[in-house]
Amino acid sequence: MNPTQYPAWKALTAHYKKTRRVQLRKLFAQDPQRGERLTADEAGIFLDYSKNRITDETLHLLQQLANEAGLRAKIDAMFNGEKINITENRSVLHVALRAPRSASIMVDGQNVVPQVHTMLDKMAQLSERVRRGAWTGHTGRRIRNVVNIGIGGSDLGPVMAYEALRYYSQRDLTCRFVSNVDGSDFAEAVLDLDPAETLFIISSKTFTTLETMTNAHTAREWSLAGLGGDPASVAKHFVAVSTNAREVAKFGIDTANMFEFWDWVGGRYSMDSAIGLSTMIAIGPENFRSMLDGFHQMDEHFRSAPFERNLPVLMALLTIWYTDFFDAHTVAILPYEQYLKRFPAYLQQLTMESNGKHVTLDGVRVQCDTSPIYWGEPGTNGQHSFYQLIHQGTRLVPCDFIAFGKPLHPVGRHHDILLANVFAQSEALAFGKTSRQVKADGTSDWLTPHRVFEGNRPSNTIMAERLTPETLGKLIALYEHSVFTQGAIWNIDSFDQWGVELGKVLAQRIVAELESEEAPKLAHDSSTNHLIRRHRMLKEKR
Ligand code: F6P
């Protein structure tokens, strides 16, 4: 079913026409309690969604849309392990990765929770050994550097979590991340590292990804060269995280040093699986488990809370409201927390690889826009860069502000100044500054239009007490389930990623054409042929 066919969609279209010019200034003036009423405080996360261009009627219709789309049944289907990723015939069970030991979640008649905890225990053993200095390298020296090699979901989550939870990390261990097939990424990552003290984690769900395998081979050569070329050293300096034991063994990593996950975990939903091994080594098993507990608390909230106070559902419905009715093209993610600097990049894969789809589950063209483009930077830096457009540009950019009550580094006045900026930004966006107010400041007539802020620019403010592993787990699960809800309403498959395939296949073909000794017979379009020839010419000049 196309989402536009739901009666609530039609009602929302009519409602949008009626209310699209309604000003937040007016909505707040009419209802002095609005700023307290349109909030939700659940599972330790506070969401203020009052500065959105919505009325009670909007919320009512959006929730009706969720009901008509069968959201409740779709949530249950995911949690029950049904194969909701229909194009790959797979269950979607990242929620099992953070289920407590006592839980039971069935896939193909088997409870998968025990294997999740066996793997967590195995990760904890390795992590403890590395952290204590008990895992020694080929020459007997302790490991001081951990380099995760992976890309996409096998990189973005680990990088983001390492940065986000650095405060909790063991500071005499260094973690680095290599993802790009551009050789500079690897070269810079290992420039100042000693192979005798370096452990590589090769992270790849499939263990066939071109970028990761190229970097993994380069890492093995670098490691062997630095350790006298003894192949026995690989066992001490390489571990693998994958679902593909055969390919891991083929690469030369003993499967005893392999940390497994399963095909019911999507790459972009895998940072809390064994893919999080580098995170666990950095912050320790206890902190890692506390992060999983945060995820689980949000899972339970999502599964059981009524839609009107269900945080992921509310956020998803607002995204649909702006994307499909206001024609907003993007969402800005603006964490006022420096440790969350990679959070927007992480969310880009989570949101856009999941919901950047053009057909419904039935394979017909979806009749509305699907995922908006997610982007962002930490505040306050963004304020001195792109916020101009959000305040006075011609486009509507819904914003998610993320802030914490208590700082991790209580330095002087910094935290109050930081938080003052978050609140000032959402206030300025919502209420702006009218020409009358601008003129009242003594601004001349000709300058007034340039200094007017129209306001009526929507935002959510998400707050938690402090950035901890547990809070990070909750925040990630909040967005995961918001993505799920959006996909459920658009009736698309949020868990496949066929859109990345064509480029991969073409690249394989072009690699051979770039590397061949003889000038290859090219049969691409004239532009691609010309670019290939040009590159071959430049290579020869070197
Ligand atoms: O880019 C496509 C993709 O399949 C992502 O979904 C995935 O996270 C990434 O490649 C890496 O895949 P793998 O973990 O199998 O190397």
- Whole-number Å distance, alpha carbon 154 to ligand 1 midpoint, is 7
In the 8-state DSSP scheme, what is residue 237?
Answer: H
Task: State the pLDDT confidence band at 429, using cuts at 50, 70 and 90.
Answer: very high
**pLDDT over 90 at 541, yes or no:** no
Q: Give the C-alpha separation, 510 to 381, whole Å.
A: 40
**pLDDT over 80 at 309, yes or no:** yes
Ligand 1 proximity of 214 Cβ (cutoff 6 Å): no
Ligand 1 proximity of 296 Cβ (cutoff 6 Å): no
41 phi, psi to nearest 5 deg: -125, 95
Q: Which atom of ligand 1 is nearest to the CA of 242?
A: 14
Ligand 1 proximity of 158 Cβ (cutoff 6 Å): no
- Output the pTM of the full model: 0.97
Name the residues annotated as catalytic: 353, 384, 504
Ligand 1 proximity of 157 Cβ (cutoff 6 Å): no
Ligand 1 proximity of 205 Cβ (cutoff 6 Å): yes
Which residue reads 């896939």 in tokens? 107
How large is the average pLDDT for residues 89-97? 98
Q: Give nearest CA residue, ligand 1 atom 2.
A: 500
Q: Which residues make beta-bridge pairs with 351? A: none
Query: Residue 35 has what pLDDT?
Result: 98
Query: Residue 40 has what pLDDT?
Result: 98
For the stretch 4-39, what's the b/e string if a residue is b when 16 or more beta carbons lie within 10 angstroms of its beta carbon?
eebebbeebeebbeeeeeeebeebbeeeeeeeeebe
Q: Which residue out of 85, 87, 154, 207 has the highest number of ligand 1 atoms within 8 Å of its CB and is therefore the one to mutate? A: 154
The three state secondary structure string of 505-532 is HHHHHHHHHHHCCCCCCCCCCHHHHHHH
- Whole-number Å distance, alpha carbon 153 to ligand 1 midpoint, is 6
Q: Give the C-alpha separation, 90 to 72, whole Å.
A: 20
Task: State the pLDDT confidence band at 542, using cuts at 50, 70 and 90.
Answer: low
- Whole-number Å distance, alpha carbon 245 to ligand 1 midpoint, is 17
Which tens digit of pLDDT belongs to each residue from 436-451? 999 999 999 999 999 9
Torsion of CA 20, 21, 26, 30, to 10 degrees: -40
Query: Residue 378 has what pLDDT?
Result: 97
Ligand 1 proximity of 153 Cβ (cutoff 6 Å): yes
